[in-house]
């Protein structure tokens, strides 16, 4: 069987990518690419569609699947960096390439296909999305194969999809968002996306908390800087030693987050249930 060729589209602008590297050590796209390589031993390229005049390393037709990362942008503001990405995703839909998106990726695909995104009235969801519950459609959907009916996942978002386009299915929801996961059919392509971040390691979550310290303190998630630092430090400790049951218990984390294989469930399902069958169909 030939090697998979995948593309990761980084949703961040240049300044955002620098901030992510400063705290996490790698861009969203670089970290995502490593996850994909671990799952499928694939050749993975990265691309920054937010940048003016950016082009993928190869023609899009060379890729068996395309994943879209998170971003600190707000798509409802319709800034140039967002509009460029909307056009990119519409081209992917038109090409019929299997596509997956985390957080910003779900929002981007929804808007590109005719849906809407707005600030979440429930506020910011950050750190871990709790009690994500599969819908009736989600319980039998291949996107969530292997997931329990309810689970937690890494997350950060202040916006949410408020209206899905036609030919879309909600597969998961929780108390913070009625659309935590969805399938979108548009053009020639099928998109699977989640509002959470299955690709985030615990290290990524700790970095995310530190990167957003000003907002988290001002919004009351932590009463003081020391509390935030201790929380992030605990998450980093758990990343290095998954046997730290005391930390997992204190943070309310179970194996759906602490075990890498379970945490990346949806991405692995996308590779096996969408990307691989698409290759066979083209042979």
Instruction: Per-residue pLDDT tens, the chain, 283 aa: give them.
Output: 678 999 999 999 999 999 999 999 999 999 999 999 999 989 999 999 999 999 999 999 999 999 999 999 999 999 999 999 999 999 999 999 999 999 999 999 999 999 999 999 999 999 999 999 999 999 999 999 999 999 999 999 999 999 999 999 999 999 999 999 999 999 999 999 999 999 999 999 999 999 999 999 999 999 999 999 999 999 999 999 999 999 999 999 999 999 999 999 999 999 999 999 877 665 4
Distance between the two ends of the chain, CA-based, in angstroms? 11
Per residue, the 3-state secondary structure of 41-97, as one string, reads CCEEEEECCCCCCCCCCCCHHHCCEEEECCCCCCHHHCCHHHHHHHHHHHHHHHHCC
DSSP per-residue letters across 105-129: HHHHHHHHTT-EEEE-TT--EEEEE
Tokens of 245: 């049951």
Other residues' Cβ atoms within 10 Å of the Cβ of residue 7: 26
Answer yes or no: 103 catalytic: yes
Nearest to 49 by CA among 93, 94, 81: 81
Answer yes or no: 136 catalytic: no
Handedness of CA 53, 278, 64, 171 (dihedral sign): positive
Phi-psi region of 231 (alpha: psi -120 to 50; beta: other; left: phi over 0): alpha
Residue 2 has a pLDDT of: 79
Contact 63, 3 (CB under 8 A): no
At residue 158, φ and ψ (nearest 5 deg) are: -110, -15
Tokens of 204: 């990524």
Could you give the residue ranges of the DSSP H alpha helices within the chain? 14-24, 28-40, 80-95, 104-112, 136-139, 202-211, 213-218, 225-240, 245-251, 255-258, 260-263, 265-270, 276-282
Tokens of 194: 């989640």
Domain annotation for the chain: domains and CATH numbers: 5-201+261-282 (3.40.50.880), 202-255 (no CATH)
Among residues 30, 160, 199, 266, the one annotated as catalytic is: 199
Contact 28, 10 (CB under 8 A): yes
Among residues 144, 157, 197, 203, the one annotated as catalytic is: 197
Place of tokens 């995948």: 6
Q: How far apart are CA 152 and CA 130, in angstroms?
A: 5
Contact 153, 132 (CB under 8 A): yes
Residue 1 has a pLDDT of: 63
Nearest to 169 by CA among 146, 145, 197, 136: 136
190 in helix, strand or coil? strand
Among residues 103, 125, 157, 203, the one annotated as catalytic is: 103
Answer yes or no: 131 catalytic: no
Tokens of 213: 């310290």
């Amino acid at each position: 069987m030939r090697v998979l060729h995948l593309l990761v589209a980084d949703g961040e602008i240049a300044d955002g990518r620098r901030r992510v590297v400063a705290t996490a050590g790698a861009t969203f796209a670089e970290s995502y690419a490593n996850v994909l390589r671990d799952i499928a031993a694939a050749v993975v390229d990265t691309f920054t569609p937010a940048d003016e005049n950016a082009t993928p390393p190869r023609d899009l037709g060379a890729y068996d699947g395309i994943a879209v990362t998170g971003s600190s942008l707000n798509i409802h503001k319709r800034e140039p960096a967002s509009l460029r990405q909307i056009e990119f995703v519409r081209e992917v839909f038109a090409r019929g390439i299997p596509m997956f998106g985390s957080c910003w990726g779900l929002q981007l695909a929804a808007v590109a296909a005719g849906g809407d995104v707005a600030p979440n009235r429930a506020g910011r969801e950050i750190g871990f999305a709790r009690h994500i519950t599969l819908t009736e459609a989600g319980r039998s959907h291949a996107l969530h194969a292997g997931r329990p009916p309810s689970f937690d996942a890494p997350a950060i978002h202040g916006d949410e999809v408020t209206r899905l386009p036609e030919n879309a299915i909600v597969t998961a929801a929780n108390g913070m968002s009625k659309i935590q996961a969805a399938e979108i059919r548009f053009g020639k392509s099928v998109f699977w996306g989640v509002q959470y971040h299955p690709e985030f390691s615990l290290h990524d979550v700790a970095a995310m908390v530190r990167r957003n310290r000003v907002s988290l303190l001002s919004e009351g998630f932590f009463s003081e800087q020391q509390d935030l630092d201790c929380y992030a430090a605990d998450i980093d400790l758990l990343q290095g030693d998954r046997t730290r049951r005391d930390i997992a218990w204190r943070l309310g984390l179970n194996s759906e987050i602490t075990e890498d294989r379970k945490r990346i469930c949806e991405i692995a399902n996308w590779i096996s249930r969408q990307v691989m069958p698409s290759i066979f169909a083209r042979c």
